[in-house]
Amino acid sequence: ELVTVTSGAHAKTYDTLVVGFAQIGAESEWRSANTRSIQDTARSLGVELKFSDAQQEQENQIKAIRSFIAQRVDVIGISPVVESGWDAVFAEAKAAGIPLILLDRHANVPDDLFSAFIGSDFVQEGERACKEVARLLNDQGRIVVLEGTDGSAPTIDRRAGFQQCLKQHNGLQVIAQQSGEFIRARGKEVMKGFLREHGPQINALFAQNDDMALGAIEAIEEYGLKPGVDIKIVSVDAVRAAFEAMIAGKLNVTIECNPLLGPQFFETALKLANGAPVEKWVKSEEDIFRQDTAAQELPTRQY
Ligand code: GYE
């Protein structure tokens, strides 16, 4: 639901608002859905959007922010590829008087260097994934983990939530974990390595996103085991392809992480441009999806 702030003679409206957004890249289905949500929402509201794709490089995101500052946009949005290293450039935006919104991924900076964070509770996603693995394995077994981009908020927090919960499940053991960079092809490659090393000793896979799980499914089939049966699989995001894999019995569970953040982003941006108060953390509401409801849910999925 979109709210327009119209009080005051110089109030900004969507059609006079100029927003710069520093996107990470296009590593996953999730990211593509997120980009579409931002671009489509801008178009439908009439907001002028300056969109930059950093191709996974922090340096490119920093350059994009500097260029948005130079162009004097009203509000800057960024999904920081990694958590650290943002203090200097965020301080430049602040000094220029331009509000900054963290979308999807948070950054490790003092609270006064950003105006709002819009996104998910990644720690909770990790905990949920661990509980699902525990249930699938009856609390007993060996787990491999495909992690996302090193140093990124979802990797760090999903790992923390998963490990925290594992402390309550003594029969579960992580025997290998490695980054697959949130990319399907990398997930396949790293899973091949896990299988080469541990073979049928692996009872479950926790993939920190669906794309890597889908790549791993191919690796498991090529190895001659049944994904979802011989090796239970839990991943995060809940993209359409994950529902298709669940219907095929190859993926067991996906933990939802909502990429459709465009509407909340521009609503928050407009409020900030008008000096109105905003919530510091606009939290996403999310679900857990399992095989039993996958066929029924698939037609309702928007990404
Ligand atoms: O889970 C993954 C994407 O930051 C929550 O980034 C996002 C993650 C998402 O590439 O698929």
Q: Is the separation of the CB atoms in 157 and 148 below 8 Å?
A: no
Q: Which two tokens stand for residue 37?
A: 């949500």
User: At 126, which amino acid appears?
Assistant: G
pLDDT at 121 over 60: yes
The atom number, within ligand 1, closest to the CA of 30 reads 11
Q: Is any atom of ligand 1 closer than 6 Å to the C-beta of 254?
A: no
Q: Which two tokens stand for residue 260?
A: 């459709």
pLDDT of residue 4: 53
Which residues make beta-bridge pairs with 232?
204
Degrees (nearest 5) of the Cα angle 240, 245, 247? 95
Q: Which two tokens stand for residue 66?
A: 């500097």
Backbone angles phi, psi at 302, to 5 degrees: -105, 0
How far is the first Cα of the chain from the last one, in angstroms, to the nearest whole number? Answer: 19
Q: Which of 223, 227, 240 is nearest to 298 (CA)?
A: 240
CA-to-CA distance for 278 and 271, rounded, in angstroms?
Answer: 7
DSSP assignment letter at 235: E
Provide the mean pLDDT of the chain: 96
pLDDT at 183 over 50: yes
> Distance, CA 216 to ligand 1 centroid (Å)?
17
* 122-160 b/e (C-beta count within 10 Å ≥ 16 → b): bbebbbbbbbbbbebbeeebbbbbbbbbebbbbbbbbbe
pLDDT tens digit sequence for 10-68: 799 999 999 999 999 999 999 999 999 999 999 999 999 999 999 999 999 999 999 99
Tell me the pLDDT band of 125, cut-offs 50, 70 and 90: very high
> Distance, CA 21 to ligand 1 centroid (Å)?
17
CA-to-CA distance for 173 and 120, rounded, in angstroms?
Answer: 27
pLDDT at 6 over 70: no
DSSP assignment letter at 285: P
Q: Is the separation of the CB atoms in 236 and 212 below 8 Å?
A: no
The 3-class secondary structure across 11-48, one letter per residue, is: CCCHHHCEEEEEECCCCCHHHHHHHHHHHHHHHHHCCE
Residue range 79-85: mean pLDDT, rounded: 98
Tell me the pLDDT band of 1, cut-offs 50, 70 and 90: very low
Q: Is any atom of ligand 1 closer than 6 Å to the C-beta of 236?
A: yes
Prediction pTM value: 0.95
pLDDT at 210 over 50: yes
